């Protein structure tokens, strides 16, 4: 009797762990849980990759422009991706430094590619939907009508 009760508990724990892991990776998250977007002071757009790397030096300090960029990210949800993935080699990529006001002015690197992957620091997420639309909207703000500094 003791052995079957112990097996039942072990089986129950395994089921709970599996269910928790699936839930952790499959439940969509809002942008504000994926990256800090409350007190953003500056967004520096660094580079755009489409076969070759084009460097830009574009700084957004205006609250209206920053809110416009953040609102684009708020238009979808994100799911966590297990493991390590180099999203910088998966087609087109936009990379930016986001400076937030905490005690000091701290920053994190935010990369997004046209395949629907978002990297914030070391964490990787998949856009739940509208990844082409979101990438294109960001491209229009960050890249279109701007010349790279390495031309």
Question: Domains in the chain, please, with CATH?
Answer: 30-142 (2.60.40)
> What pLDDT does 3 receive?
75
Residues in the chain: 151
- Cβ(116)–Cβ(99) under 8 Å? no
pLDDT of res. 10: 92
Q: Is 67 exposed, middle or buried (0-12, 13-18, 19+ CB in 10 A)?
A: middle
User: Would strands 93-101 and 52-60 be described as parallel, antiparallel, or unpaired?
Assistant: unpaired
pLDDT values of the chain reduced to their tens digit, one per residue, 151 residues: 577 888 899 999 999 999 999 999 999 999 988 988 778 898 999 888 887 888 888 899 998 999 999 999 999 999 999 888 888 888 899 999 999 987 677 889 999 999 999 999 889 999 999 999 999 999 999 988 888 887 6
Q: How far is CA 14 from CA 22, 46, 93, in A?
A: 12, 45, 39
Residue showing tokens 């739940």: 128
């Amino acid at each position: 009797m003791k052995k079957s009760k112990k097996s039942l508990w072990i089986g129950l724990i395994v089921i709970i762990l599996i269910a928790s892991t699936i839930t952790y990776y499959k439940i969509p998250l809002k942008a504000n849980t994926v990256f800090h977007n409350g007190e953003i002071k500056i967004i520096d757009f660094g580079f755009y990759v489409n076969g070759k790397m084009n460097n830009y030096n574009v700084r957004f300090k205006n609250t209206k422009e920053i809110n416009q960029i953040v609102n684009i990210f708020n238009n979808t949800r994100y799911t966590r991706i297990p493991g390590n993935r180099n999203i910088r080699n998966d087609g087109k990529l936009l990379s930016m430094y986001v400076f937030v006001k905490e005690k000091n002015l701290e920053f994190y690197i935010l990369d997004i590619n046209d395949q629907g992957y978002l990297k914030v620091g070391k964490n990787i997420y998949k856009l739940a939907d509208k990844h082409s639309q979101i990438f294109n909207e960001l491209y229009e703000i960050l890249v279109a009508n701007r010349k790279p500094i390495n031309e």
